[in-house]
Chain A
Amino acid sequence: MLLAVVGNLAVIGAALAVIGAGIGVGYIGGKAMEGISRQPEAMGDIRANMLIMAALIEGIALIAIILSFFISAAV
């Protein structure tokens, strides 16, 4: 099963964007865990806000991925 390595720099750009998303969402998750451990009765509110923030940050990372698709198709 020989797979050729093809691609261009846009692919590397997309992968780098995921690093940022990973760090950001991981930070949110960590802080949310801390918040829940400090005040367990606020778990519902914290969980809802955590999901909203995670979706917002992932949106930005996915913008980078979609732009890399377009750029590698346009070239």
Chain B
Amino acid sequence: MLLANLQASGDGDDSHWHLEDCHDSHDEQFDVSGTALHHIGDANVYDFSFFLFKGHLSLPCILYAPGDGPNSGLSVFSSGKFKPVDLHGNGMHSNKGYILLESKVHRVYDPSFPDHSTIECVSHKKEMVNGKEKEVMYVKVQGKEYPVDVKSTLDGGLVGGGITSFYDFSITKNVLAMMLIALILGWIFIGMARKYQRNDGKAPSGIQGFFEPLFEFIKDDVAVPMIGHKYLKFMPYLMAIFFFILFLNLFGQIPFLGNANVTGNIGFTIVLAVITFLITNFNGNKDYWKHILWMPGIPAWVKLILTPIEIVGLFLKPFTLFVRLFANITAGHIVILSFVSLIFLLGNSGESVAGGYGGAVVSTLLTLFMMCIELLVAFIQAFIFTILSASYIGAAVEEHH
């Protein structure tokens, strides 16, 4: 399947297809924010390129549309049905009422939408939906315009815009990256554990030389000072989140492997913070809850004021945990993409050659500098997440002096 999707450029006339805008509003300006948001977002197709070698992996789409409608219920198909896909991730064909726009699957609710049809153009319109003004996309197929629904997000379309009507459970780029990194980490650490069992007492060799300092650093400087003598119970969790976040941050920085930005996805970081929250509160002993709800040692009227503040703090601490990770990684990616877009802006989208080359020199230096900072940020953010989780767990299991 992988070999069937590898293509050199110039593969018949379908590969030069490009989805046009319906209203012919060809503003010559390069859309920086749209490009940046498209590149850091999730995608239902996996495009990776390595100098001249282009690869395109069609990931399976698992979609569920509740309620009644032309394509309600579970639909499972490969996103190869939307092929050919142009450079912006728009698929030419529709399949079962679903279309691929900007690398994400969208749904057309209209029952009269013809199946397996060719999309001619797309347009964006602002209209009032449920009393709020949202931007809705329309596709024109066989001369008729149909409104397009986006996948449902738990915020009710707050950030995505548009009408939400189906749930997207597909194996997307981020899910594939997570599974790949989890397998790589499992292979590395299980191999290392077996090696330690075999060479008991001998000096470390091979890849142990790289991971052992990191491991000892987390154990001696994070787990033991923060948690105390009960650290062994929580060590697996701390190790897991440290290495998982570190490897995912680093993987999202590699531009060749499709830029699978997992830690910059707010859903992923929310889940990590929720797991930390659950582990902290399920292991809290009586002293911990007493300190939150009815802190001893202060007069009664101060306790009444302090309890709501402490309860808010209980939820606020994991909140800052995940927003910090998400915002750092996303901000870094947006800055790097803005520097790369500088080439297009200075070269006036291909019109000015001198501007393009000068812009390329400036942009490459700036991007190199920014990527070094991003490397540092990847390590620091993984470490901060781990040490703060350890500190919250330590506060929960701390015994009375």
Q: Which residues of A contact B (CB under 8 A)?
A: 1, 3, 48, 51-52, 55-56, 58-60, 62-63, 65-66, 69-70, 73-74
Asked if B327 and A63 make an inter-chain contact with CB atoms under 8 angstroms apart, the answer reads: yes
Asked if B331 and A55 make an inter-chain contact with CB atoms under 8 angstroms apart, the answer reads: no
- The total of interchain contacts (Cβ-Cβ below 8 angstroms) comes to 48
| Number of chain B residues whose Cβ lies closer than 8 Å to a Cβ of chain A | 21
Query: Which chain B residue lies CB-closest to A63?
Result: B323
Q: Is B71's CB within 8 Å of the partner chain A?
A: no
A48-B383 Cα distance, complex, nearest whole Å: 11
Asked if B320 and A73 make an inter-chain contact with CB atoms under 8 angstroms apart, the answer reads: no
CB distance from A2 to the nearest CB of B (A): 8
A62-B328, A65-B331, A73-B158 given; A55·B384 CB < 8 A? yes
Asked if B158 and A62 make an inter-chain contact with CB atoms under 8 angstroms apart, the answer reads: no
Residues of B within 8 A of A66 (CB): 323, 326-327, 330
Q: Which residues of B contact A (CB under 8 A)?
A: 29, 158-159, 161, 221, 320, 323-324, 326-328, 330-331, 345-346, 348, 380-381, 383-384, 387
Asked if A62 and B327 make an inter-chain contact with CB atoms under 8 angstroms apart, the answer reads: yes
Residues of A within 8 A of B346 (CB): 1
A67-B381 Cα distance, complex, nearest whole Å: 19
Residues of B within 8 A of A73 (CB): 158-159, 161
* A56-B324, A66-B326, A66-B327 given; 5 more Cβ-contact pairs under 8 Å: A1-B346, A51-B380, A58-B328, A62-B324, A63-B320
Query: Which chain A residue lies CB-closest to B319?
Result: A63
- Which 4 A/B pairs are nearest by Cβ-Cβ distance? A59-B324, A62-B327, A55-B384, A66-B327
Query: Which chain A residue lies CB-closest to B376?
Result: A51
A48-B330 Cα distance, complex, nearest whole Å: 24
CB distance from A74 to the nearest CB of B (A): 5
A48-B222 Cα distance, complex, nearest whole Å: 12
Query: Which chain B residue lies CB-closest to A75?
Result: B133
Residues of B within 8 A of A55 (CB): 324, 328, 380-381, 384
